[in-house]
């Protein structure tokens, strides 16, 4: 009984029935109270005789009785129309959750309520927006799983093959074991780098941009200091130039990651003993950071593939092919972009623009 009374449709039906039937009952009560009395006077045997009679129409009584089921049916129909948008939201949620009999989850379904009460349309729109976010999150999750399995297969295969070769060697020596360990270390480093980049990419896509004031010049110097060991190995000099005041409202962790990826890419492809320049500029509502190296550059025909995930122009240089796509994703999340140009004298110049 409590469950039935908790149903919105039943409550609306009861209210509708009372709204339709109560006025009719009230009218019938008024008629009963104000019944018309007819007085007739006649002469019988020379005497005046008076008789009183009350006239009540039977049609009114039957109308009141017949109105009850009609009011109930009309109220039930109206309650169904009023709760139809909510029922549509519930049915769609059941189908998406796999409770509609198929057992499959379909995040591509939408309510797409075109008409109805304003509150119901607002509810449906919020539900569709939530489904959009869930679909993007699920797609990112599946993409991460697919890409992880694809990219980890090669280093894992190298580790397994290297172990099998060492175990099957008829006369292993210390030098043989050393060479095997070097190969295993290289494969393990690639495995770790790939995992770090994939996790960073997934977090960047799932993370909401939280803008706070940050000095881009200070960020560039911090990134340069962190990359100092890698630059020193190749004898590369990294310089940072920019205005005294380059404070912008950005998401500092993701922008720092993007700058680190650009600098790492420049150092890896720049020839030993050369230089890498980082230039910061602020102009009105836009800020930009340009990372320039003087390496071999990228052929014009291949530049359109630079920001594709896992694309690598040179296989002899270690990398995952995720650094530049992640940096571009950060730029897009800040209302900007990441572009590539070729400076005079060769090399690459990556321009990261951010909306302030």
Residue 112 lies in a domain: no
Give yes or no: residues 14 and 86 share one domain: yes
- Asked if pLDDT for residue 243 goes beyond 70, the answer is yes
Range scoring the smallest mean pLDDT among 195-204, 250-259, 271-280, 335-344? 195-204
Residues in CB range of 108: below 8 A, 6 or more apart: 135
Structure tokens at 170: 């008829």
- CATH number of the structural domain spanning residue 156: 1.10.287
Domain of 256, CATH number, reads 3.30.565.10
Quick check: is 117 in a domain? no
Query: What per-residue confidence (pLDDT) applies to 8?
Result: 67
As for how many domains the chain has, the answer is 3
Per-residue pLDDT at 33 exceeds 50: yes
In sign, the C-alpha dihedral spanning 295, 301, 306, 310 is negative
Which H or E element spans position 52?
strand 47-55
Among 144, 175, 205, which residue terminates a domain? Answer: 205
Percent of the chain with pLDDT over 90: 8
pLDDT recorded at residue 108: 72
Q: Residue 297: inside a domain, yes or no?
A: yes
Query: Domain check: are 218 and 329 in the same one?
Result: yes
Query: Beta strand 275-283 with 36-44: parallel, antiparallel or unpaired?
Result: unpaired
> Which helix H or strand E contains 292, and what residues bound it?
strand 286-293
In a domain, 25, yes or no: yes
Same domain, 248 and 340: yes
Do 198 and 278 belong to one domain?
no
Residue 56 has what pLDDT? 55
- Mark whether 192 and 314 lie in a shared domain: no
Q: Are residues 259 and 337 in the same domain?
A: yes
224 located within any domain? yes
Picking from 148, 172, 205, the residue at the C-terminal end of a domain is 205
Domain span holding position 184: 133-205
Q: Are residues 215 and 348 in the same domain?
A: yes
Residue 122 lies in a domain: no
Strands (E), 212-274: 212-215, 237-241, 247-250
Task: Judge whether 111 lies within some domain.
Answer: no
* Segment 169-183, tens digit of pLDDT: 888 888 888 888 888
End residue of a domain, out of 100, 119, 146: 100
71-98 pLDDT, tens digit per residue, is 777 777 777 777 777 777 777 777 776 6
pTM of the model: 0.54
Please indicate, yes or no, if residue 227 is contained in any of the structural domains.
yes
């Amino acid at each position: 009984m409590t469950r039935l009374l908790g149903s919105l449709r039943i409550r609306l039906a009861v209210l509708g029935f009372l709204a339709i039937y109560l006025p009719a009952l009230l009218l019938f009560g008024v008629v009963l109270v104000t019944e018309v009395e007819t007085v007739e006077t006649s002469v019988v045997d020379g005497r005046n005789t008076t008789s009183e009679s009350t006239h009540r129409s039977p049609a009114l009584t039957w109308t009141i009785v017949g109105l009850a089921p009609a009011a109930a049916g009309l109220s039930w129909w109206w309650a169904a129309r009023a709760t139809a948008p909510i029922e549509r939201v519930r049915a769609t949620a059941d189908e998406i959750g796999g409770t509609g009999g198929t057992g499959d989850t379909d995040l591509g379904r939408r309510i797409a309520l075109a008409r109805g009460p304003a509150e119901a349309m607002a509810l449906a729109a919020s539900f569709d927006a939530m489904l959009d976010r869930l679909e993007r999150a699920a797609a990112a999750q599946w993409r991460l799983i697919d890409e992880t399995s694809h990219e980890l297969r090669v280093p894992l295969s190298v580790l397994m093959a290297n172990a099998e070769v060492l175990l099957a060697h008829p006369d292993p020596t210390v030098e043989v074991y050393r060479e095997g360990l070097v190969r295993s270390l290289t494969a393990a480093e690639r495995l770790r780098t790939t995992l770090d980049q994939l996790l960073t990419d997934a977090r960047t896509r799932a993370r909401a941009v939280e803008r706070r004031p940050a000095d881009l010049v200070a960020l560039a110097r911090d990134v340069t200091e962190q990359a100092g060991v890698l630059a020193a190995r190749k004898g590369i000099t990294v310089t940072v130039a920019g205005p005294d005041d380059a404070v912008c409202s950005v998401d500092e962790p993701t922008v720092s990651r993007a700058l680190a990826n650009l600098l790492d890419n420049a150092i890896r492809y720049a020839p030993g003993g050369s230089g890498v320049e980082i230039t910061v500029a602020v102009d009105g509502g836009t800020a930009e950071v340009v990372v320039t190296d003087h390496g071999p550059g990228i052929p014009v025909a291949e530049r359109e593939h630079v920001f594709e995930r896992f694309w690598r122009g040179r296989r002899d240089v270690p990398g995952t092919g995720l650094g530049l796509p992640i940096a571009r994703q950060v730029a897009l999340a800040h209302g900007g972009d990441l572009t590539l140009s070729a400076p005079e004298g060769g090399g690459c110049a990556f321009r990261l623009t951010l909306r302030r």
